[in-house]
Structure 1
């Protein structure tokens, strides 16, 4: 959101300055140039005072947990065992549930069989049984098969819930892909040599067999990782939030969905896809519930340490820096005030509606105070907040009400500089001033005014040079 200067809770000095100005304020109804049907402008005066001024950038925010992790089903199946309840505290590595997935087990058996066949083929292949043309054709088929198997292995690895296990599986697939590519290039070079009459066909056949074995072994490892992931463990310590029974997938038993889809039976929209699974009040996953690959099983949220984020408009974010303090209110906690401190600013822009661009500012959560002065209730992760970032402040400075400033080029203002109307001998005289920090209700004056001078504080844009202001 666009920054607008805001004045904080005033100090005693600020209160004194405001009370002096209020005590010296006069109101004048100027009738000149106004008909009886026009509203007469109100002109108010006051004296220049000193006090504290703050400039604030306001932005919408949210309470964030220390960490959170969403665990998705690595394969289609049913919940075989459920060992936690919704809201339960768990430790990292603790078993949460197990998934029964015949499809994942079958995929592992298929991968093992393909690997065994590749191993047997590598030991039985003979160059006498193949011509160079046949070897080249076999290599092309192997290349296509390898790419398909590596892609499938990578997809399986992506579905592993545990971040460490997923990273290890993806690294293994990539390592195997690299080895295969090196051997495939070596095989191609040997085939080229054979075709030119310079190479040995046995060496080319052996190299191709080794390349094929690498991709079948990678497929076995990926399938094994998927089966291992059917035992779902907590990646972090925290509180469990079970997914809904739909979980983004069908509530039908595994395998029944495809049969029913082709039977001609008409079901309500979303009945198979689980489009309504996130509706309020949807029951959580229970033992025996069906899940689809990629559906949400459980979330683990670590709220042991809270933080805050604020979406700051692009026009204001350059004013924000680490260390800037913030006043925070939580929508769900009436009357309480919270505190935060900027820790970092994300460099990646976020696009919103209407072309708006914001940047995520991250803040520490520094506690809060309730309306009765007691410690405020601790908010929950995900609660909405209003964050007021104090981007500039000055203490014990010359200040005037924001309404006293006639901005440069606006209304009755000077085209080149900000100005105020100084009242001398009952006559209004324009004086250019240098403005420092602009607060919502008070503005710092760094040059052009002195404490105690009388100025127009209300209706400044309606005043003209030399106008009598009693």
Structure 2
């Protein structure tokens, strides 16, 4: 036997080749085993599908508009120092809570007080005049005045006639006129003026013959005017009497005109009109005087105070305890809002606090911005405990409610084009597709109408699958709404 000595390097190479074969064989076996497991695993029947369901209920669903605003007072009352007045007394302090009718401040104005007193006296005078014109005593007084005026006129006329008769010389006898004084002749009292039937007629007073009424030889009868005398004193007296008669006649005419029903009515209307004007002025001045004493028109809090305010400047501001929030509602939703509507208000500054409110008013004109018009809506709060002016508030207004509808989870609702349907799980674990008409939906629920869907039916909301032996949840139906904004559909009520 021949032995050959092999080199050490060759032995090492053979050992490495052997290891590679072993490793390769082991790896191949491992891969074959894995493939065999996969094939066997894939040929096993899948586990039956399992479903998550929800029971169809009947109830109400509401659509809600949400918006944010600022808490402000329902009413604000500002007190200013009146012109020409000064502050006499200040009865409140900054931040103080006051009740309706509580005294806030008092002012003084001496000039206004004097004007009120004078105007009050004028009103009393006008009222007395009206009462006089309406009284029966006034009519009696007017009649008495007429009688008196007529008497006075008659006396004056008598005096005038007497004065005028003093210058006329008449005959006291009967017979032919044989002698008479000539015109322009001056005679003294008792001097012969004429001779009638042999008897002399003398001058009753001194004067100048102004006019001769007869001729020589004329047959004269008793009472026939023979001539007229004149004198400065007699003329003056006659003129004075005539003037007196004219004045008394005018006075009588005035009294008689005042006594007529037409004039009485006119005088009464004039007096009443003047009385009404004076009364209106008095009321205004009395109101101004009353305003010098300022009372709280409502319960609230003093939010501004300037005790050194000059006349005409603001002294204080009173904000009502009643509070409200103004929120913008888009034009697409404003027709769904109406006064008296109930709302829910939450306040970020007071976590967990939710108060009810009422829509008080809706602005007739919107604010246009970025292509959209928003209408301010004022909401009064029903419970303001702990709520401060200026806080932000989130307002939710129920704008639409569906009553007595079938309610299903939004996750169970499917859409194909313009048609909606749900899937109902039957007792044999089979699915039945049922068409529905969506009336309203919110973030999680839909109100539907269907002839085939009934209360207590179970609708599919998700399916549990196990294609690899591991359960997986696969949602069905619509995705839940997120980030609701004003005008979107809200929660179930």
TM-score normalised over the length of structure 1: 0.44
Q: Tell me which protein shows more strand as a share of its residues.
A: 2
Bigger Rg, structure 1 or 2:
2
